[in-house]
Amino acid sequence: MITTVITFLIVFCILVIVHEYGHFLAAKKSGILVREFSVGMGPKIVDLKRRGTTFTLRILPIGGYVRMAGLDEEDEELKAGQPVVLTTNSAGVVTTINTSEKFRSAVGVPLIVTKFDLQDALFIEGYENGDEGAAKRFAVDHDATIIEKDGTEVRIAPRDVQFQSASVWRRLLTNFAGPFNNFILAIVVFALMGILQGAVPSNSNQVQVIDNGVAQKAGVRNNDRIVAVDGQKTQNWSAISKAVSSHPKQSITLKLQKNGKTRSVRVTPKVVNNGQKKVGMIGIQSSMTTNLGSRIMYGFTGTWQMTKALFSALAQMLHGFSLNDLGGPVAIYATTSKATQQGFNAVLYILGFLSLNLGIVNLLPIPALDGGKILLNLIEVVRRKPMKMETENMITLVGFGFLMLLMLLVTWNDIQRYFF
C-alpha cells in the first residue's frame, strides 16, 4: 500500500513537473513573468520563492499549473477599501503588499486602499494608519511582491511582462511547450526501458511463435520471416500485424522464408476483442534484438507505436463514447498499483504511456486545454488581431467548466469500477 502510494506520487510529480516546466521555460524565454509554478491543486502545503517565481506544493494530486502574469487571473488583486500592510525600501518605494489577514506582519505601513495601478503607473494610494484626512501615494517597485490571502507571495504583474504582451507566436510556442515536453519524456522513458530490458522488438518481418498458437499448429517456426500475407508484401512487423488483425476468422496465406527457402502455409486468425473492436490473432510476436542502437532507438519506435495506438483509440471513441474509455486520478492510481507489483519496467511503461497520453489529450482543440489555447492563437494569426479578452476568457471558462464536470463524472465512474 505504502509503496503504491509513493510510486503514484512520484509518477504524478514527474508528469506534472515535466509538463508545466515546458510552459515555464518557454514563458521565461518569451519575457513572460511566471508568478507561480504549482504541483498539485487546492490548499498550499509549502512554497519557495526563486528568481521571481513562487514554487508551491499543493495538497490535491489532480494536476498542476504555471500561473503567468495576465493570463486567466482576476482583474483586480486589490480593491478600494481593502486593508493592506506595505513594506518599503530605503527610498520609500513599496516592495511588498500584504493582503493576508492571517499572515500579516506587525512591521510595515498599514494602509486602507483608495486607488492603485499595478500594471502601468505602478502606485498604490490610501489612508495611512487609518488617518482619513489625506490619502498618501506610494510608488510601487516593478518587481514588488503581493502576499495573497492564503499567504502565497507572488510578483505583481506589470503590463510589460504579461502574457498578452508577448507576440502571438511566442504565446503559441508557450502553449505548445507543455505537451512537447510530455513527448520528450515518453521518448526518454521508452529508451530507458529498451536499455534496461536488454532487448526490444526489432520491427522486422522475422517472428517468434507462441506455443500451441494458431501459427505454430500451422507450421510456422521461430525465426521464420513472413514476407507476404495473401500476396501483400510485409517488410516489417507493423505490416504483418495490420494484415493479420484485419482478418479475424478469415483464412489467409502466409509466405514464409528461412535459410534461403520459401514455403507457404494457410492459417485462420482467431477472434480477439482488444477492448475497441474484434481483431485477428495467430499467436506470433516480433523477434527481439539486443543491438544497443536499436534499444536506444526504441525511445522513438516505442513512442511512435504507442502514439498510433492512442490515436486509434481516440478515433474509436468517436463511434461510441463511454466513460470507461477515460481515466482520472483514481484510474491512474489503480494502474500504478498493478505496475508496482510487476516491477520497475512496468512502472516505466506506465509513466511513458501516461506522459504520451497527457501530451496528446492536451493538444485536443478544447477550450482550457493547451490545444484550445493554440487554436485561439491560430485564429488570431488569421484575423491579424487578438480576440477580445472578454470573449477569450468566456470561451476558456466554458471549456474549464466542461472539463471539471467531465473530471467529476470520470472520477466517480473510476471509483465505481475499481472499488465497488
d(CA 55, CA 42): 14
User: Which of 86, 79, 73 has its CA nearest to residue 34?
Assistant: 73
Smallest Cα–Cα separation from 210: which of 160, 281, 302? 281
Q: DSSP E strands: which ranges in 76-195?
A: 83-88, 94-98, 109-117, 123-128, 136-147, 153-155
Contacts of 342 (CB under 8 A, 6+ apart): none
In the annotation, is 20 catalytic?
yes
Q: What are phi and psi of 147, to 5 degrees?
A: -90, 120
Residues 98, 103, 107, 112, Cα dihedral to 10°: 40
- Point out the catalytic residue in the list 20, 36, 148, 153: 20
Instruction: Give the residue from 148, 192, 166, 141 showing the smallest Cα distance to 351.
Output: 192
Question: CA-based angle 105:106:112, to the nearest 5?
Answer: 85
Burial class (CB in 10 A: 0-12, 13-18, 19+), 205: buried
CA atoms within a 13 Å half-sphere pointing along the CA-CB vector of 367: 14
Enumerate the active-site residues: 20
